[in-house]
Structure 1
Amino acid sequence: MKTAHCLPLLLCLCIGDALAGTPIQLQHAASADTRISISNIAGSVNVTAWDRNEVQVGGELGDGAKPLQITGDNDRLSIKVEPRGGSGSGWFNFGGDSRMAPTTLELHVPRGASLDVKVISAPLVIDGLAGGDIKVNTISGNARIHANTPALDVDSVSGGIELSGQADKAALQTVSGEILAPALGRTAKLETISGHIQAGGGPWQTLTLSTVSGDVQLSGKLAAGGSIDIDSMSGDVQLRLPADTSAKLHASSFSGDLRSDFGKPIEAERGPGSSLDTSIGAGDGKIHLETFSGDLRVKKQE
């Protein structure tokens, strides 16, 4: 009889509380457009959308971690992996036990959910979301995002960013990680120090891109009256534009090689450097391209 009385308690622990070194089996009711905060130090985070008003968490909790819980209410939920025994501050309670083993998080969330994800050395995959905002902070883990979202904000140090699907407004930033984003929406801001950028999409109302030494390959369409602004120090830049582009184009390089299918660059009369100022089509939009020592190519799409 005593064992029978204990069974409901054990079942509750399986549903609402995951212990370190054990498989995770957690679930919580959620609104269709719930906002979910997820934090993990090491291991991996996989988030998959489904058509249920429920958050489900599987995977395995690393040794040295506090028991995992889903906290909050149906509109705002939090899943945070924390080390035992610390009282530190910051993203992940760095004052805790640094010997915590990696944790694997496998989440299913409502398709319209918004996400705020923070990871250090945990690779991240987000798949199938549609409608909610997505914000990601990562140190060294790669972030792969397949989603249709009105707003995407990803900040990475050495981890790469790979975006598929559609982001109406995207802000992607890395230090040395690669950025791959073939379907950027109307507004985009891309920044890197040494990472390679390969991006496309549009039509862009506003696109700004800056790089120090990372090379850039950009291909896409400008919206009516839109603008593209690209700045590079030593990274090579290649921009491909449709033949029906309508914009005023300014391109210049101090010591890099400048070539364009739209107009002929002019060499500086004194010292190095070349520049190009021309109108493409009716000249409705604005394209501003500058490099210091990186080569610059403006090509017409076939």
Structure 2
Amino acid sequence: MRPNSAFRSPRRWLAMLAVAGVFCAGLGAVSSEPIRKSFATIANPSLLLHSHSGTISVKGWDQNQVEIKGERASESMDVLIDGNAEKVTIQTHPKRQNLSPQEAQVNLEIHVPRQTLVRVESERGDIAVEDLEGGVAVEGVANSVTLSRIRGYITARTVDGPILIRASEGHIKADSITGDLKFVQVNGSELIGTTNSGAIHYQGDFGSGGTYVLHNYSSPIEIQAFPKASFDMTARSVLGTIESQIPFLPLPPGTPFRRSTTGKLLQGRIGTGKSTVQITSYSGTIRLSGGR
């Protein structure tokens, strides 16, 4: 073969470029160093995390220490970490514009003291927070949010991502524009769940003495009450319907059990009515079951 004949063949030249590109891409992925950082803290510090994209996990533990572990998908993402005994902040942001979703990912796993006050802001990626008692606030755009075993003040907000809150109690507020809301064994002094076009699902006993307000515009709202549930219910759907399998009693004192002929209003009591439940939907179907 004549010298440099490989470069004179278009097919061979393109093949060599492809191999070189794969090799360089592999080097770039390997060169991203793992993120490792820890801070000794007080028992109830605060954690503020602002993430551009990536999976986030925050877990409470029985140590007065914040431990941060993570991986960057590429060197095109900056990760800024600062902290002291009382406050730890984490920020991720791109070094340049027009990064692909894969390049922009920074996945983080964080352990914090159980009494930590946690605030997470993110644009994309799954968010999971669990085993905390200091209060949690999550704001996302296209995120899936899961909060488990949280006690205290809890707020979760997304644009179009689903929100799941389970085995938690306290003062709880969850809202989304298009995302679904799901509450499983969630109790508290107040729970407010609002979504425009997403569905709402509640499964539990509504605690003892709390107020529960669930509202959406057009999608179904489903309630599955546990046998020991005790609450007063008012359910309204302006253009939708109400389907109930719960054996409600009339609301005292002297308030009759009322259900309109069009199925748009239902009032009643289960047990001794310890909690208050208010459900409204403009055109969605409200389905009630359980409570026996």
Asked if Structure 1 and Structure 2 have the same fold, meaning a TM-score greater than 0.5 normalized by the shorter chain, the answer is yes
* Identical-pair percentage: 20
Partner of 1:195: 198
Would the aligned equivalents of 2:233 and 2:266 in 1 still touch at CA under 8 Å? no
Partner of 2:46: 35
Task: Report the Cα distance in structure 2 between the residues aligned to 1:177 and 1:97, rounded to whole angstroms.
Answer: 28
Instruction: Specify the SS of the correspondent of 1:118.
Output: strand
Amino acid at match of 2:140: T
- Give ranges in structure 1 of 5+ residues lacking alignment: 1-19, 85-95, 251-261
Q: Return closer, same or farther for 1:231/1:246 CA change in 2, 3 Å cut-off.
A: closer
Instruction: Specify the SS of the correspondent of 1:170.
Output: strand
2:144 is equivalent to residue 142 of structure 1: yes
CA shift for structure 1 position 197: 1.1
Would the aligned equivalents of 1:43 and 1:104 in 2 still touch at CA under 8 Å? yes
- 1:131-174 deviations in whole A, cap 9, x for unaligned? 11000001111011112311110001111111122121110111
CA shift for structure 1 position 120: 0.8
Task: Report the Cα distance in structure 1 between the residues aligned to 2:146 and 2:259, rounded to whole angstroms.
Answer: 39
Task: Report the Cα distance in structure 2 between the residues aligned to 1:128 and 1:78, rounded to whole angstroms.
Answer: 20
Instruction: Specify the SS of the correspondent of 1:81.
Output: strand
Partner of 1:301: 291
Greater Rg over alpha carbons, structure: 2
Q: Return closer, same or farther for 1:238/1:185 CA change in 2, 3 Å cut-off.
A: farther
2:195 is equivalent to residue 205 of structure 1: no
Amino acid at match of 1:21: S
Partner of 2:221: 216
- 1:236-275 deviations in whole A, cap 9, x for unaligned? 655676768966799xxxxxxxxxxx946343xxxx6765
Task: Report the Cα distance in structure 2 between the residues aligned to 1:209 and 1:298, rounded to whole angstroms.
Answer: 13
RMSD: 3.3
Task: Report the Cα distance in structure 2 between the residues aligned to 1:163 and 1:189, rounded to whole angstroms.
Answer: 12
TM-score normalised by L of structure 1: 0.71
Would the aligned equivalents of 1:24 and 1:59 in 2 still touch at CA under 8 Å? yes
2:128 is equivalent to residue 125 of structure 1: yes
Instruction: Specify the SS of the correspondent of 2:192.
Output: strand
- 1:98-138 deviations in whole A, cap 9, x for unaligned? 42621111111112212100111121111222x11000001
- 1:7-59 deviations in whole A, cap 9, x for unaligned? xxxxxxxxxxxxx9321011111111111011111111111222111111111
2:60 is equivalent to residue 49 of structure 1: yes
TM-score normalised by L of structure 2: 0.73
Partner of 2:114: 111
Q: Return closer, same or farther for 1:146/1:297 CA change in 2, 3 Å cut-off.
A: closer
Would the aligned equivalents of 1:178 and 1:195 in 2 still touch at CA under 8 Å? yes
